[in-house]
Structure formats: structure tokens, C-alpha cells
Structure 1
């Protein structure tokens, strides 16, 4: 397999970006008190977030499996990884300026940077990734119960602290604008890698099939997902904030 991008996967990643933009638009409208939807607590919106992050990480896992099958070099991987880490640091800095009491210290890009390394080293494990993904997802709920009512209760404060809550084995969600810990989300990315490896071996035609013209824009967006992720929220905040100021 040549070292190429696949429009179908890029379009799925682009769909995640559009879906995320709609979610963040409503979030920003609520922040500026232009709508009343409770994006933080309403199950309709919290499930939206779960599905958006899941789709994004599934695509990331698939991408790593495909890159591994194509023989992507380590220098190329580390260049991309460095871009993700740098972008995560920018998110932390920007969120600290706007939300100093709930800044983002382990959001989707921070989690992605860590998970990319894990998945890169394990992408060739094939069907075992399905099992590992299930264990990773299940561990979140097991530890939550153990920390709330089980023998790990004395450890709850330590696991809930910023030092360890990036693992995701917590009994209380931290106060932060975005939180995508290692568990359970590594499991989702492992499932994406498992699906990607299966597609490469069993259904390569699905990846290579041409997209309908109407979906080309989504594929283009998916190719620039990192840049778009960094830029869309500042633009939305500026636009929504401007409208809020005009309506005063």
C-alpha cells in the first residue's frame, strides 16, 4: 500500500469537526447567555460530546493503523506528534487566559498526544486491540465504583487530583472546560486502530472508493483537522461575543 490519504477517512474526520463546531457554537451561545440549553449537564448534549470525541478518536486510531501498514517512518510520526503537543499547549494557555479557574490541562489534544504514542507502539497487535479496547473502557467504570464505595475509597482524593486524574480512574469529574483522560478513551482509539487494521487487510476497497462530490469539502476539512480545531473556537467566541455585545 502506498503512503496515501483516504478521502473516506478524511470525510469522517471532517464530519467530527463539523459536529464539534455545532456543539461549541451552542456552548458559546450559552456562555454569553444567548440561549438557555444546559450543554454541560443535559444528557442530550453530554451524549453529543461523547459521540463527537468517540468519532474523532476512532478516526485517529484508524489513521495510525493505516500509517503503520503503509510503513510510516518514526521521524514523520514524531513531527506530527510534536504538532499535536504544541497545539495542546496552546489550548492550555488560551483557556487559562479565558477560564483561569477551569482551564484545560488534559483535554482532547493532550489525551490524543499520549494515546498516539500508545497506539503507535501497539497498532500491529491486530485482533488483540478489540480486547484491549474493551478492557480500557471497562476499567473506567470499575475504578469509579471501587473509588466510590469499594476498597479504593482511601485513594479517591489522590486519584481525583490533577496529578493523577489524567488517567481517568476517578470518582469525581474535575472542574475543567475539557477533559479527555487516558481511560476510557484509549479504548476507543484502540478500537479505531483495530478497525483500521481490519479494513486494510479485508476491505481496502472501502478506504479507496471515491467520495461523492458533495462530501469533498468534508474530506478537505478532515485533512486540516488540527488547524481547524485550534482556530474554530476563537473565531466562534469572537463572533458570538460580538453579537452579544451588539444585543446589549
Structure 2
């Protein structure tokens, strides 16, 4: 998960050009990572309720999940106003935790059948009525919303239900001894504090790669592609290559000053941002 997010950050900041949304290998990686995340959430729910439901502890965990999901949404609306996170993995896990309580005492076969049904419904059903902003989180929308992390109830709750069913088939799960070496102890610690790890690692990686992007300036694949395309378009108008080179560098500088460069490269500008790009182009034009 951290590696995937790191690659996303590298691409967003123009330090790499991973095709995360189009390359079948990256799409498969995302599916496997998210599926394992939700599968373990289902297993954990069974372990947490093995001796009966501790309502106080469950509600405390649910409140932390909901608060974390709200914080992620708030940050995304600030950073990515064109593609905010309104129902990401944390939102999903909060909802799935409540729904999953209905399955932790049911026969494993029934829960696994429900998991399969959820996946099939999410993959093959699409109803226009669910295109409403208030219903998109269910997953039956005909047009996927533009969001940086959309994990709708269907089909993804199938992963949580599969985890519950598999844990019910394995009564001794979670009772084995901890590993003796440092690596296994570190992994166990991260597992016990998975929410904190999830919330902290991405801001750290995002901030680190932002600093790197500021340091390398134009020397990134996206920056070079922009500059070459800008100069080519400029020279086609009859302007001299030297002046075009200067003008295009000016545009990059103005966008960076305005805090628009990352969103411009990632094609995540809103209408106001696009107008400000136009203003930068005019300000840096040959008339200077």
C-alpha cells in the first residue's frame, strides 16, 4: 500500500510517469492491495468479536475510523478540489464494520455466498437512480465519480465478507505465537496500529516528494514534456525559439508561484485554475 501510494505521489509531482489508472499491471496491483486490506479487516472483525461484542470498544474504534475518514475528505477537498475523496477506503471500512456485525455469527458458507453476490452485483449492475451524489457510495452508479480514492460498498464489501467467512472457517486464527525476529515484531506492531500507519505514511511521502519536486525544478519527465510542447507550439506561431524558450519557462515559474503547477501537470485544475493558467500565458507572451 505504501509503495503504491509512493508511486502515485511520484507521478502527481511529476517525478515519474506511472500509468496507475490505465496500465493493467497497476490496476491489478491496486485491486490486490485493496482486497487484502479489506480481507484483513473482515478477519479482524471476527477476532475482535470472538468473545462477544464489546460495544464500547467497537464504538470507540468506529468513531476513530469515522473521524479519520472525515479528515481525509477534508484534506482532499483542499488539495484536490476536482477529485475529492468522499467515500474512500476508510469510509468503506467504517460502513463495512457495521454491516459486518450481522455476519460474524452466521455460517461461513452463507457469508462467503454473500461476498460473491456483493462482488457480482458491484461488477455487473448499474442503475441510473444510483448516479445521485447521495447514492454513489453504494457502487451501482452508471458513471464512476471523479475521486482520488473511491471504494464503494459494492463490490468491495465482498472483501470484508470474505475475510469474515474465511476467519469463521479457521477457528484457531490469530492464536499462533508471534515471530521472534525484529521484522515480524515490527510488522505485528504496524498491524496493531494500522490506522495510524495509514494516516501518517501518505502525508509523509507526499510532503517528501513535494520537497524533491521543488528541488529538481524543471528536470522531471512531465516538466520536460511540457516545456518541449510549449516551445513547439510557440515556434509554430512564427516566434523565435529563444523567445519561446524564455516564455515557456516564465509560464512554469508563474504557475509554480501561484501554487498551480502540480495540479496543472496532473490535469486537476478547476475552472478558476484554468483561467489563472490563461492569465500566466498572456503575461508571459511575446508582448513582454
Paired residues of 1:130 and 1:190 also in contact (CA < 8 A): yes
The equivalent residue for 2:135 is 164
Equivalent pairs counted in the alignment come to 215
Q: Which structure's CA Rg is the greater one?
A: 2
Deviations along 1:183-236, whole A, 9 cap, x unmatched? 111111011001112212xxx166413325132211111111101111111111
> 1:79-94, aligned counterparts within 5 Å?
79-94=60-75
The equivalent residue for 2:118 is 136
The equivalent residue for 1:64 is 45
1:126 Cα deviation (Å)?
Answer: 2.3
Secondary structure of 2:104's counterpart equals helix
2:18 counterpart of 1:37: yes
1:72 Cα deviation (Å)?
Answer: 3.4
Which of 27, 46, 58 pairs up with 1:46?
A: 27
Secondary structure of 2:87's counterpart equals coil
Aligned residues: CA RMSD? 1.4
Paired residues of 1:119 and 1:189 also in contact (CA < 8 A): yes
Instruction: Return the alpha-carbon distance in structure 2 between the equivalents of residues 208 and 223 of structure 1.
Output: 15
Paired residues of 2:47 and 2:174 also in contact (CA < 8 A): no
> Counting helix residues as a fraction of each chain, which structure ranks higher?
1
Structure 1 unaligned segments of length 5 or more: list them.
1-19, 148-154
The equivalent residue for 2:191 is 222
Instruction: Return the alpha-carbon distance in structure 2 between the equivalents of residues 176 and 195 of structure 1.
Output: 31
TM-score normalised to structure 2 length: 0.72
TM-score normalised to structure 1 length: 0.83
Instruction: Return the alpha-carbon distance in structure 2 between the equivalents of residues 141 and 103 of structure 1.
Output: 23
1:171 Cα deviation (Å)?
Answer: 2.4
Secondary structure of 1:54's counterpart equals helix
2:164 counterpart of 1:183: no
Secondary structure of 1:114's counterpart equals helix
Paired residues of 2:42 and 2:162 also in contact (CA < 8 A): yes
Secondary structure of 1:84's counterpart equals helix
Instruction: Return the alpha-carbon distance in structure 1 between the equivalents of residues 38 and 95 of structure 2.
Output: 12
Q: Which has the higher contact order (CA 8 A, sep 6+)?
A: 1
The equivalent residue for 1:12 is none
The equivalent residue for 1:15 is none
